[in-house]
Structure formats: structure tokens, C-alpha cells
Amino acid sequence: MAFLKVVPLEEALKIINSLPLKPKIEEVALEEALGRVLAEDIHSPIDVPPFDRATVDGYAVRSQDTWNASESNPVVLKVIGEIHAGEEPQIELGEGEAAYISTGAVLPKGADAVIEFEIVERKGDEVIITKPTYPQAGVMKAGTDIPKGTLLLKKGTKLGFKETALLSAVGISKVKVFAKPKVAVISTGNEVILPGEELKRGKIYDINGRAVSDAVRELGGEAYFLGIARDNEESLKEKILEGLKYDIVILSGGASGGTRDLTASIIEELGEIKVHGIAIQPGKPTIIGVIDGKPIFGLPGYPTSCLTNFTLLVAPLIRKLLGGEFETQRIKKKLAHKVFSVKGRRQFLPVKLEGEIAKPILKGSGAVTSFIEADGFVDIPENVEILEEGEEVEVILFRF
């Protein structure tokens, strides 16, 4: 078993992308669809509005009956009834007739316009009109907002409140979406304890369990934190076997070549190691393995290293399983000041973004605030030793 035989990042990504995992599709009720990703194109099954309707409160008329109306020569129409929203009209207008109609109500047969009640005078069962109107005035025709068959939303759309409102408007109550990948998250180490426990000398609170779990959720997956595996084979194997109930397993810590780091040997015992070591800094001792067809990642223990490698390696896989693209989000910024790098190793430098400027965070991957303050990290190629102040750099965002 060859540990820490490092491979380039691109090779590691190629291996992950080639894993035999495909997005799963499920149907959910619309009230549960917020934040989900559509697994199908959706076309409108109806016209919106589904009928010709009034857009104002007023009187439904035949527009031709009003064409000669003026202040000096008003037109008098007989009011033969009322039509309210939600009702099916039981009347049909003939020559010289009108009907009171409320906003949103179905236009009666014979009518082709609605005149606002504020600009007419009502006397008994008659309405006096002093200004002509025209066809479709005060009316929204059926299908003028959304014609039946219109492509509303494309496959791959993430459903926000506007999208769910649109689906509701056309009467869709269920949608097909990509199933959320179920991700088991395991922290490791004898020194790690959970928040709320007594902090004794030599112990530290677990950061990665919370950070990785919520990063999974922010991406759209389901995270299941299985607790902390201790630095012994029995504890670690127990947690890994429990994690295999889910789609993906992520461990943090215990990935280097030290005598107490058992992650790699247990993964190889239970399955296969695809990668043990990536030519990047931080995060070189990363493990990518497969057990029973399930991908398992052994990420570094330092929070910044752990979250950097999660962003580079795991996040693309989760996005792919949610029907998205297998890629990281990159933007161009200018470096705040000169930075020295280690030639021969690809480096990912945490940075804080301030407008168009990327300010390096140089506290080291062991500092909690390195990734708390960071908006992303700069990708520094292995053949670069110096980045100059003001130089344009590519920033990979921590935001998902």
C-alpha cells in the first residue's frame, strides 16, 4: 500500500468525476420544493389567465355601443346584471346592454371591454357613458400572461419563491427534482470534543463536523453528522461502516502518514483507495476512496485545509448529483500585496474580498479564523514563486 503518492489536482478531479454515481430523481409536493433543483423542463398546462377577465371594477360593455359617446351626446346602456370574481356569468350582452363587473371576474359573452365605474354615472338600472372605449380596454385576454405550452422553467433551475409562485399560478402541485445527496460526516481524533463538553487541557472543540455538515446543506445536500471517531481502529471502522448507509462519506483528520492515522488502512481494508495525496498546499494528505460503490473522502484536520479541499473536491460532486455542473466558481480579483509561494507545489491561499481587491490571510491553515475570515482562496500554480501587488488572480469562492 503506497501512501502519499501525490497526484495533480486535475487527476484527482478526473477520478472523482468518473465515479459511477448518477443524480437521482424524486417527485415532491410544491410546498416542499423550495430550494430544490428541477429535474425536468416545465411547460404551462393552462392559459394564464384561463379566461378573459376584467382588470378593473366597472361595467362590461360592447365597445361599439360607446363609439359615439361624448359629453354633449352621452350613451345610455341598460344594466342587466352583476358579475363578481369567482362566478360563471349567466348573462350575455346584447346591443345597448351592460353589466357591472368586479376586478378579476369572467367577461360575459358579448362584451369586449370594461369601463371603470369612476368615469361613468349610474342611475337606477342604467349607466351613462360620456367617453368612447375600445376593444379589450380593461380586459386581460386568456393566455396573454402565459399561453398554454409555454416553457416556464428549465431543468436545472433552483426553485426560489418566484419559481414556486409561478408553478402555483399554473396549478402545478408536484414537481420532479434531483434527490438531495445524503452525506455522512465524521470528525476524528482523541483531542476533539463536541461543543458543550468541558474543555480540558489538550482538548479542542470540533469545528470540521459543523463546518462540513453545513457546507453540505448549503450546497443542497443532506448532512448526517455521525460524531467523533477516536484514534483507534475499532472506533474509526465503526463510524465508516455506519457512514456507508449514506451516499457519500466524509472524514476529517487522520489522513496523514503518521503512526496513529488509520483512515487509509481501514479504507483499503474495506474497499479501494483511489488517491492518497494531492499536489496542493494546504491539504496534501487527502484520501479519495471507494467502499461498496460509495465515495469516501479523508480530508485534512486543520479547518482551512479541510474546507479548502471540501470546496475543491467534494462540492463539485455534490453539485453534479444535484444536476449541476462539476466545477468550482471562480472570479477575477486583484491582489492586495505581494505574496511569496513555494515553487513546485500548487498553493491555495485564503483571501478576504474587499470590492475588486483580494487580501491574503496569512495566519496558516491551523488558525480557525483563516477560513472564517476568508471569502475564498487564490489558486497559485506550482511554477509561480511570487505574486505581485495588483496582479490579477483567480479566486475560488467558499460560497456555494
Q: Write down the pLDDT at residue 259.
A: 39
Residue ranges of the chain with pLDDT lower than 70? 1-4, 254-261, 363-367, 369, 400
Q: Strand, helix or coil at 243?
A: helix
Digit-coded pLDDT (tens) for 291-319 = 999 999 999 988 888 988 999 999 999 99
Angle between helices 263-270 and 233-243 (to 10 degrees): 50
pLDDT, position 81: 95
- 250's grid cell: 466524509
In angstroms, what is the C-alpha Rg of the chain? Answer: 32
User: Residue 148 class from Cβ within 10 Å (0-12 exposed, 13-18 middle, 19+ buried)?
Assistant: middle
Average pLDDT, the chain: 90
Measured on CA atoms in the order 67, 72, 77, 82, is the torsion positive or negative? positive
90/357 Cα distance (integer angstroms): 68
Question: Residue 57 has what pLDDT?
Answer: 97
